[in-house]
Structure formats: C-alpha cells, structure tokens
Amino acid sequence: MTARSKPNAGVSLEEVHERELFGRLPDHEARAELVRRSLPLAEYLARRFSGRGESPDDLFQVASLGLLNAIDRFDTNRDVQFSTYAAVTILGELKRHFRDKGWSVRVPRRLQEIGLRVNAALPALYQELSRSPTIEEIAGRVDASVEDVLEAMDASQAYSTTSLDAPASEDGAAPIDVLGGDDPSMALLEEWATVAPVVRQLPQRERAVLYLRFFRGLTQSEIAREVGVSQMHVSRILAQTLRTIRQGVAAQRGPIDVPDLQDQGARYVE
C-alpha cells in the first residue's frame, strides 16, 4: 500500500476507498461507484420532504442531482467526510427546488426569503410576548419593512393551490359546485340600460302597454281589457312605441335590435 492510500489513525478503510475513487475522477466508473454508494443517503433525504405537494420520484431526482453536484465539488483535501458534505449539498438542492419551483404562483425570491424568516420568527415571538405579535414587531425581528412583511405573508398563500373539484365542506361539496354561472338577466339588464332613457320619455299609456306586454307577459287581448282599448289599438300602440324606441336609441348609440311587431305579429296576437 502506498503512502497516499495508507489509512491514517482514525480513518476507516471505507473512507480510504472513497478517497481513492475521488482520486480517479473524472473516471466514469469511479463516479458511478460514488453515486451508487451514496444513493441511499439521497433517497433518505428526499423522503424527509415528502407530503409537501411534490411526487417522491421528483424529489428523488432533485436529491440525485444534489448528490452529483456534491461529487463534482467535493475537495478531498478538506478535513470533512463526504457524507457530511453530500447531505448539506442535497438538502440545499431540495430546499432550492421548493423555493424556486414548488410555488403554484411565481413569487419573487425576495418575498420568499422574507416569508421564510417570518415563519421562523413567529414561534419565538409568540413565546416571548405570550400573545400574537403585531406586524411592526414581526418586521423588526426579521429586519424588513412592514409593507414587505405584509406582502410576503400574502405571497405565502400562493405556495399551494386547491383544485376546484376537491371537496371543501363536510357534505362533500366542491367549490366548482357552488360557483355562479352565466346569468341571462345580466344581458337583459344591459339592454334595458340602453333603452331606459328613451322609455322614460314615452307617454304614460305607452309605458303602461310596454310594461304589461314585456314585464307581465300579458297578451294583446288582456292588455286591451286592462287599458280599456281595443286589441287592434294595442297592436298599433306596440308597433309605434317599439319604432320610437328603435329610432331614439339609434340616434344616441347606433342601431339596436328591437323586436318588429309587423314581422313577429303571431307572437303578440293571441
């Protein structure tokens, strides 16, 4: 055994063999052997981050990347074991993954870092103050402005999202089940807002006929009995009134689609 490979006091043969493998780098077989020996460590550290919204396979891939980086950067001249250096490097890669890619909505790194400091400071402040700390007290502890702390706390809500199909109540109802849909009355409201100024200028009788026909849904014969005129007279009032509305709106905003009683007479005569 050469002087270089001869184990020193307190150094195991395993460590000597490990250093020999590092001495052979960038040999492909030596690198593969170093990876094989340390993969259980990478798998163990990846499992520590499970349950945070990332799949085990993705976490293992990130940990493996950290292991490769550790192998490439390890300096055998330093008085530190490779397993220690690899663990720090792998953990750093996993934390970086969650910081940069684990957020459902992209959040600036500055706010992510402030949010981490806030989360770390809160337990200590609770214990020291025996109450919930104020925003000013939190800002003072993490050395940030009140505005940055508030923004970071809001941004922390973007770390994970919930599916609209996921049950959100005891009865199993999902948010998608209680969301509103298209409201047909909104289109009617917009149309009414367009014609309302013209309708307000109509005589009282014409407004009454419009109300009975289009809001109460009465037939022309029912309107005739209600108003005290003939059904033919009601038909003429409706035709003239709708023509007036169409012309009034067109003069203000351009043409509008108002029903033509002459074209749709069968709909109004019952």
Residue 11 banded pLDDT, cuts 50, 70, 90: low
Mean pLDDT of the chain: 77
Q: What angle do CA 51, 57, 59 make, to 5 degrees?
A: 60
Residue 207 neighbours by CB distance under 10 Å: 14
- 7 CB-contact burial (10 Å; exposed 0-12 / middle 13-18 / buried 19+): middle
Residue corresponding to tokens 């990332």: 54
| 37 neighbors 18 (Cβ within 8 angstroms) | yes
Look at residue 114 and tell me whether its pLDDT is greater than 60. Answer: yes
Fold of 13-101: Rna Polymerase Sigma Factor; Chain: A (1.10.1740)
Determine the pLDDT at residue 27.
Answer: 83
Domain spans, the chain: 13-101, 109-161, 189-268
Q: Distance between CA atoms of 50 and 58, rounded to whole angstroms? A: 10
Look at residue 22 and tell me whether its pLDDT is greater than 70. Answer: yes
Specify the CATH number of the domain 189-268. 1.10.10.10
Q: Distance between CA atoms of 124 and 141, rounded to whole angstroms? A: 10
* Rg, Å, the chain Cα set: 38
Look at residue 264 and tell me whether its pLDDT is greater than 50. Answer: no
- Residue 136 backbone phi and psi in degrees, to 5: -65, -40
> What confidence tens digit (pLDDT) does each residue in 219-249 have?
999 999 988 889 999 999 999 988 888 888 7
Determine the pLDDT at residue 236.
Answer: 92
| 67 neighbors 38 (Cβ within 8 angstroms) | yes
Look at residue 263 and tell me whether its pLDDT is greater than 60. Answer: no
Average pLDDT for 216-221: 89
Q: Distance between CA atoms of 178 and 194, rounded to whole angstroms? A: 31
Look at residue 203 and tell me whether its pLDDT is greater than 60. Answer: yes
| 62 neighbors 14 (Cβ within 8 angstroms) | no
Specify the CATH number of the domain 109-161. 1.10.10.10
Look at residue 16 and tell me whether its pLDDT is greater than 50. Answer: yes
> In this prediction, what percent of the chain has a pLDDT beyond 90?
14
Joined tokens for residue 243? 């023509």
Reported pTM = 0.40
Average pLDDT for 44-73: 86
The two domains 109-161 and 189-268 share their CATH topology (first three levels equal): yes
Look at residue 258 and tell me whether its pLDDT is greater than 70. Answer: no
Average pLDDT for 54-74: 88
Residue 46 Cα distances to 33, 56, 81, 234, 244, angstroms: 20, 7, 20, 81, 75
Determine the pLDDT at residue 80.
Answer: 79
